[in-house]
Amino acid sequence: MNPQIISEEAVSIYNMSKELKKIKKRDGELNIRTKKLEEYLNSFLNLKQEQAEELEKELVKLDVPRLKEMYIKKIIDLMPSTSDELKLILNAYPITVSKKNLDKIVSVLKKYIPKETN
């Protein structure tokens, strides 16, 4: 019996965390693997779920040519703070983004990057 893929979509760490919370609520407790996944995700979550969704909407509104949903989710997961960091992330994909658009994306991201308190 071969499993069949019904649909495929990009999932951010924020979406994954939200789904884990649903599973935890439903089952009462997570198994060892999902506990490890929860720990891993929590070490990278910098935003609240609502902030991540709002940021995604803002990035989509920029209407950057050829910037797909999965690229946007990866950008939100990694939260680059400079155009160079963003360019490195996007180099993993078959997309070229102009310097102007890179700067627009980073300016939106900077509104959501948590300020360090020292």
Q: What is the pLDDT of residue 5?
A: 87
b/e burial code for range 8-25 (CB count within 10 A of at least 16 → b): eeeebbbbbbeebeeeee
Q: What is the pLDDT of residue 60?
A: 96
pTM (predicted TM-score)? 0.82
Per-residue pLDDT of the chain (118 residues; tens, 9 = 90+): 788 888 888 889 999 999 999 999 999 888 999 999 999 998 888 899 899 999 999 999 999 999 999 999 999 999 999 999 999 999 999 999 999 999 999 999 999 987 764 4
Q: What is the pLDDT of residue 116?
A: 62
Sign of CA dihedral 70, 73, 78, 83: positive
Q: What is the pLDDT of residue 26?
A: 93
- The percent of the chain in helix, strand and coil, each rounded to the nearest 5, is 60, 0, 40
